[in-house]
Amino acid sequence: MSGREASTINGLRATYNNVTLDSVNIQDNFIRTNALDFIPNRLFTDQIAEVTIATSNSSTNSGGGASQVSFVTPSGSNQYRGNLYWFNRNNAVAANGFFSNRDGVERPFLNQNQIGGSLGGFVIKDKLFFYGNYEAYRLRQQELGNRTILTEDARQGIYTYRDSSGQVQKVNILQLMGRSLDPHIQSLINQLPSPSQANNFRLGDSNETFLRNTVGYSYNIRDNRTSDNVTAKVDYYLSERNHFVGSMLWNRDIVDRPDLTTNFDTTPPVANDGATKLFTAAWRWNPSATFTNELRGGFNFAPGLFLTYNEKPEFFVGSMIFSNPVNTFLDQGRYTDTYNINNSTNWVKGRHNFLFGYQGQIMRINPFNDAGIIPNYSVGINPNQAGLNTADLPGISPADLTLANNMLATLAGLLNTATQTFNVTSRTSGFVAGANDNRNYEFDMHGLFFQDNWKVTNRFTLNLGLRYDYFTVVNERDSLTLMPVVQGDLLSTLLGNYTLDFAGKSVGRPFYNADRNNFGPNDTELT
C-alpha cells in the first residue's frame, strides 16, 4: 500500500520491535526501519500455530526489543490431520481501469493461484510426531505503466511553442544553433515507441488541443509474484523428562519490480529474488516437577536482493526530456545471516519461581551495491555552452525557454555533468573501476537475565528481575570503512584538517568504544 507509514507498537519506533519464529529472529537485521512490515520470511497461515504479541512488562528473558512478536510453528499429534486447497482469482469478470480505458490500453491480465496442503500426525504414537506443509503462490498480473516519448516534430529537432500573441511557432533548434542530432541520442530515440503510439497527456508538455514536443505513452507491464513456502517439523519425546524438537522453513519469494523500471519493456528487468532458510532445534529437560531447562538454537539466512536481468551498457545518459529506454537500475541488496542461541531455566522453590539464563544473537551481514559503478552522464546546458535565448525564439515564455534548452541539450547530447563511483576491494587496492560496494559487517548481542516471581501471599505476588545486555562494537570484517583519525580531541579533529584511514577490528581501530553497562530491571509488577 502506497502512502502509509511503517507499522508500530505503542507508538514506538519500528526498530524497537523484535520478531521471532521458534525463538529465532526472522527480521531484516541490516535495515530495520520497517521491522514489522518487511520480514524476509513471508510466513503463510499454515506455517503458524501460535502468535504472541507482548507490548509491555515483558519477562527478562525477552531481549532485542521493547515489544515482542513471537511465532510458533505447528506440531503433529496422535491424530492425523491435514488439508488440501486451491484458490483462484482472475480477471474474467473484472472491469478495466479508468485510465486504461481512456488510453485505449486493453484490460490488464490477472490470474492468481494459491495451491497447498499440510499434514501432521505421528510416526510413533506418544513419541515421535511430524508436521509439514507446502504452499505455492502464483500471481500473474499486469499494471499500467506510463512513459514520456517524443512527438514526430521533436524527433527532427523542431521545437513547438505558443508565442506571447498566442500563435503557434515551430523552430528547428538544432539548425538554429548549428547542432546535429547526437548519434547516441539517436540510438535511444530509435528505441522509443513511435509517435503514433502516444495515447495520453498525463505526461509531457502536450494537451488534447495542442500537440507540442513530448506526450505520454501508457501500456501494460508485468507485475508477477512467485512464492513457495515449505515447513517441516519433528517432535520427539524421548521420555517424560526429555523433549527434542526441530523445525525447518524454506520460503522463496520472487517479485517483479515495475516501480524500478524506467524503460519500455513489458517485462520488468528488475526483481526481488531470494529464498530464506530457517532451522531451529530445541531440547527441553525436566529432571523434576519443579525444574525445567530449555536449550534452543538456530539460524535464519535472509537475503534481500534487488537484481537486474538486462544487459549493462558502457555508460548511462540521464536528464533527457523523454523516458530512458535503457533501464538504469543496478544490482543491490544484502545477505543477512542471523544465529540465535538461548538457554532458559525455570526453577520453582517454595513461593519463588526463578527464571534465569542466557540469550545470544550473532549477525553476519554482506551488503552490496552496484549503483554508480557505470559512468552516468547528464545532459544540460552548462555555463561554457551557448544556449537558446529570447532573441532566438521571439515571444517565448521563460518556462518554455527552459524547456527548449532542455530539448536542445537532449537532442544534441550536450553534457553538463558526469559521475562514477569508485570502490576499494582491499586496503591496498586503491579505487578500482567497476568494483561494487561490497562489505561484511559483524555484530553480536549477548544477554544474561534473572527473574523471581515471588508469591509473598496467596493474594500478593512480587515480580523482580534484572537483565544485562552486551552489544559488541559493529565491525567490518576486512576493515574497509574509512573514519577520521582523531588528533588530540574530537572537537579539534572536526575543526582541523583531519585525515581519514581504514577502521575495524583487524587494523586495531574500532568504530567506537564498547558499552558494557547495559543493566535493566524488569518492570516491577504487583498482582
45, amino acid identity = T
For position 4, what pLDDT does the model report? 65
Residues 6+ apart with CB under 8 A from 114: 85, 86, 87, 88, 135, 136, 137, 138
Coil vs helix vs strand at 367: strand
Task: For residue 507, give the DSSP letter.
Answer: G
For position 3, what pLDDT does the model report? 57
Among 340, 320, 473, 494, CA closest to 408: 320
336-392 pLDDT per residue, tens: 999 999 999 999 999 999 999 999 999 999 999 999 999 999 999 987 777 899 999
For position 497, what pLDDT does the model report? 80
Among 147, 142, 176, CA closest to 159: 176
359-368 pLDDT per residue, tens: 999 999 999 9
Among 64, 69, 61, CA closest to 8: 69
Q: What is the pTM of this model?
A: 0.88
For position 274, what pLDDT does the model report? 87
Residues 6+ apart with CB under 8 A from 116: 44, 46, 84, 85, 133, 134, 135, 136, 229
For position 498, what pLDDT does the model report? 80
Q: Please report, in tens digits, the pLDDT of each residue of the chain (527 residues total).
A: 445 677 888 888 888 888 999 999 999 889 888 778 888 888 998 999 999 988 877 788 888 888 888 999 999 999 999 999 999 999 988 899 898 888 889 999 999 999 999 999 999 999 999 999 999 999 999 999 999 999 999 999 999 999 999 999 999 999 999 999 999 999 999 999 999 999 999 999 999 999 999 999 999 999 999 999 999 999 999 999 999 999 999 999 999 999 998 899 999 999 999 899 999 999 999 999 999 999 999 999 999 999 998 889 999 999 999 999 999 999 999 999 999 999 999 999 999 999 999 999 999 999 999 999 999 999 999 877 778 999 999 999 999 999 999 999 999 999 999 999 999 999 999 999 899 999 999 999 999 999 999 999 988 888 889 999 999 999 999 999 988 888 777 777 777 788 889 999 999 999 999 999 999 887 544 44
CB 463 within 8 A of CB 525: yes
